[in-house]
Chain A
Amino acid sequence: MMSSVLAPSLAVYGSFFLTTALSYALICLGLNLQWGQTGLFNVGVAGFVGIGAYASALLTTPATDAHWGGFGLPIAAGWVGAMGVAGAASALIGIATLRLRADYLAITTFGVAVTIHLVALNAQALTGGPYGIAFIPRPFGDLADRPLLFNGLNLALVAGLALVLYIALERLARSPWGRVLRAIREDEKAAAALGKSPSRYRLQAFALGGAIMGLGGAVQAHFIGFIAPDNYLSSLTFLVWTMLILGGSGNNRGAILGGVLVWALWSASGAAIGAVFPPDQQARASSLQIVAIGVFLALALLLRPRGLIGERTIVSRHLDE
């Protein structure tokens, strides 16, 4: 009797958890292309995720006076739009900053995220301001009254998306294009001497990575159905970075593994705080979650900088044997 009630709710929770975790894995794959493959240090992940989420929400929500847009387009159009807008924004920022030193890129992307949050918060006519955007259509929304089927289909959708993206990125990484990216990361001068323009390849990787982050943000927005500016703060950037470092930067499988693992840690620590602290102390105690993840990131950097499954060194496939 118990198990027949418990099993479906566990399956619902399990698929809900995995859907969220895999949406983070999508963002992680975008960061892996920028940092893991190309060595571009982006501290504004939350900003690019936010651009994607807002772009898709504005395109797909029903007509409204609360914010700009509300074109009621299909979800797929929203996701394509999210990739386009986030990719274009990344390209613009990349043109301005990629020729600078690595830590200037870090500082600038940090500023980008702060500014995007500011625009989301204050440009109320465009974004709905602090109230955010509601009524974002959810995939398979007409099945929402059947939780098991609804969550299962959503999981299948996001997992399929992650798989397609993984295969595409793996092929890219093994292509001549991917080899040039790693060559630039390892030795920019040598790559330039071979006639490859580092700035062009960097820009392409930065824009593509930003587009993938935007897609991840759009997927999350449609899965939850509501977005607000404070979803896109530096704590999101921090979480995604921890996912990539822990999983293993430079390795797409590591990026996905890190996304699922760190999200599991995050959810578990949230549940533990809910169980240990009294309700009036929980908001305060939830800051301990970030402390824990911060310590975790520091330990990972100190003890296992390659991550759980780090990058494999591939010189030539003929040397593998």
Chain B
Amino acid sequence: MNLQFVADGVLTGAMIGLGAIGVTLTYSILRFANFAQGEFIAWGAYFALLVATALGWLAGGSSTPIGPFSFGWGLMLALIVAMPLTGALALGLDWALFARLREKASSITIVIASFGASMALRSLLEFLFTSRPAYFTRELQIAIRLGWGVRATPDQMALVGLTAILVLALHVLLSRTQIGRSMRAVSENPALARVAGVDVDQVVRVTWLLGGALACASGVMVGLTVQIRPFMGFDLLLPLFAAAILGGIGSVPGALVGGLIVGVAEAAAAATVGAQWRAGVAFVLLIAMLLIRPTGLFGARE
């Protein structure tokens, strides 16, 4: 059997995993399922596109491909700029909507609000950029043979590497720093954490920044390997939720592993059942997990 689907699935899974980390962080610290997480992915990609285009005007060679890759230094800089921008978008949405609702409404009302925000944000992208797809680069890439009949392009390998770096950095942040400890404390017990002197508002801000920035990285990866369009984030929303639940809500490594499982399963389904059924895979995995083990692979029992 051809193992190509594993390579394709790992790449998709990395993008899903990065987005799902945002879902799992928001869920464990702010305690609601954020339906607007997909829009951070799409907005992140468009932010990066704007910055990369602006750099292309200012400095000529910014989009000249580096080595075997299809992108130039302009896109790398654009990613570094767009990540905090997307984090700021998440913060802004929290300030305008979620924070106000947290004071007086139930968590399920916040889910409804996030659903509305998701529709509005996506439609705004559609108005600003139209639904025509956009691309970071028009360069063609030749896939490299990796053995066992598997091929991958240099871009794809670089992106899997980028995911590894980001997840590792996040892991260090959560396990070795003061803010990481505070985040884990709030996710365990917000009232107790507040009593113990944890600055809960700061934890909330950092959660949105991290979730937004990682979603942006995921969006740039989708934009580089597929295309950029207003619906790109919304189409990933179900895989994001499936990955977060599969890995266990609140678990960062779980979200990544969940993403990889969903990605590989989607690629396997596309190769066997047919690509048109790909979007149903996340749903099947989600239902199966909720029936068998709702706490997820790495989740704590309640």
Question: Which residue numbers of A lie inside 8 Å of B, CB to CB?
Answer: 39, 41, 43, 96-97, 100, 102-104, 106-108, 110-112, 114-115, 118, 121-122, 234-235, 238, 241-242, 245, 284-285, 287-291, 293-295, 297-298, 301-302, 305
* Cα distance A293–B120 in the bound complex, in angstroms: 8
Q: Is the CB of B120 within 8 A of A290?
A: yes
Q: Is the CB of B116 within 8 A of A297?
A: yes
Q: Can you name 14 extra interface pairs (CB under 8 A) apart from A111-B282, A115-B283, A301-B112?
A: A41-B112, A43-B115, A100-B294, A104-B294, A108-B286, A108-B287, A110-B241, A114-B280, A241-B112, A241-B116, A298-B117, A301-B109, A302-B97, A305-B104
Residue of A nearest to B130 (CB): A284
Interface residue? B137 (CB, 8 A): no
Which of the candidate stretches B45-53, B121-129, B187-195 sits at the interface with the other chain?
A: B121-129
Using Cβ atoms and an 8 Å threshold, which residues of chain A touch B290? 96-97, 100, 104, 108
Please list 20 pairs of residues, one from A and one from B, whose beta carbons are closer than 8 Å in the complex, sorted by A's number.
A41-B111, A96-B287, A96-B290, A102-B107, A103-B107, A103-B111, A107-B33, A111-B283, A121-B276, A284-B127, A284-B130, A287-B127, A288-B127, A294-B116, A294-B119, A294-B120, A297-B113, A301-B113, A305-B105, A305-B109
* Cα distance A285–B130 in the bound complex, in angstroms: 9
Using Cβ atoms and an 8 Å threshold, which residues of chain A touch B116? 238, 241-242, 293-294, 297-298, 301
Q: Which 4 A-B pairs have the closest CB atoms?
A: A294-B120, A290-B123, A297-B116, A287-B126
- Per a CB cutoff under 8 Å, which of B32, B96, B130, B287 touches A103? B32
Interface residue? B148 (CB, 8 A): no
Residue of B nearest to A114 (CB): B238
* Cα distance A106–B114 in the bound complex, in angstroms: 12
Residues of chain B in range 268-290 having any CB-CB distance to chain A below 8 Å: 276-277, 279-280, 282-283, 286-287, 290
Residue of B nearest to A239 (CB): B119
Among A114, A245, A285, the one with the most B-chain Cβ atoms within 10 Å of its Cβ is: A114
* Interface size range on B against A: 35 or more
In the assembled complex, how far is the CB of residue B171 from the closest CB belonging to chain A, in whole angstroms? Answer: 25
* Cα distance A208–B159 in the bound complex, in angstroms: 48
Q: Is the CB of A114 within 8 A of B127?
A: no
Q: Is the CB of B101 within 8 A of A106?
A: no
Interface residue? B256 (CB, 8 A): no
Q: Is the CB of A102 within 8 A of B108?
A: yes
Using Cβ atoms and an 8 Å threshold, which residues of chain A touch B241? 107, 110-111
Residue of A nearest to B279 (CB): A118
Main DSSP-derived SS at the A contact region: helix
Q: Is the CB of B112 within 8 A of A104?
A: no
- Per a CB cutoff under 8 Å, which of B100, B108, B130, B291 touches A41? B108
In the assembled complex, how far is the CB of residue B101 from the closest CB belonging to chain A, in whole angstroms? Answer: 6
Q: Is the CB of B109 within 8 A of A111?
A: no
Interface residue? B186 (CB, 8 A): no
Using Cβ atoms and an 8 Å threshold, which residues of chain B touch A241? 112, 115-116
Q: Is the CB of B287 within 8 A of A301?
A: no
Interface residue? B245 (CB, 8 A): yes
Q: Is the CB of A118 within 8 A of B280?
A: yes
Q: Is the CB of B294 within 8 A of A110?
A: no
Among B33, B35, B121, B234, the one with the most A-chain Cβ atoms within 10 Å of its Cβ is: B33
* Cα distance A294–B115 in the bound complex, in angstroms: 9
* Cα distance A241–B117 in the bound complex, in angstroms: 13
Q: Is the CB of A245 within 8 A of B112?
A: yes
In the assembled complex, how far is the CB of residue B17 from the closest CB belonging to chain A, in whole angstroms? Answer: 17
A238-B119 in contact given A97-B290, A106-B111, A108-B287 (Cβ < 8 Å): yes
In the assembled complex, how far is the CB of residue A290 from the closest CB belonging to chain B, in whole angstroms? Answer: 4
A290-B119 in contact given A104-B245, A108-B287 (Cβ < 8 Å): yes
* Cα distance A298–B120 in the bound complex, in angstroms: 10
* Cα distance A318–B237 in the bound complex, in angstroms: 49
Residue of A nearest to B107 (CB): A103
In the assembled complex, how far is the CB of residue A135 from the closest CB belonging to chain B, in whole angstroms? Answer: 26
* Cα distance A111–B284 in the bound complex, in angstroms: 9
Using Cβ atoms and an 8 Å threshold, which residues of chain B touch A108? 286-287, 290
Q: Is the CB of B280 within 8 A of A301?
A: no
Q: Is the CB of B283 within 8 A of A298?
A: no
Using Cβ atoms and an 8 Å threshold, which residues of chain A touch B124? 287, 291
Residue of B nearest to A284 (CB): B130
Residue of A nearest to B129 (CB): A284
Residue of A nearest to B96 (CB): A298
Q: Is the CB of B33 within 8 A of A106?
A: yes
* Cα distance A104–B299 in the bound complex, in angstroms: 15
Q: Is the CB of A118 within 8 A of B277?
A: yes
Using Cβ atoms and an 8 Å threshold, which residues of chain A touch B115? 43, 238, 241
Using Cβ atoms and an 8 Å threshold, which residues of chain B touch A245? 112
In the assembled complex, how far is the CB of residue A190 from the closest CB belonging to chain B, in whole angstroms? Answer: 17
Among B107, B120, B280, the one with the most A-chain Cβ atoms within 10 Å of its Cβ is: B120
- Per a CB cutoff under 8 Å, which of A114, A294, A301 touches B101? A301
Residues of chain B in range 11-36 having any CB-CB distance to chain A below 8 Å: 27, 32-33, 35
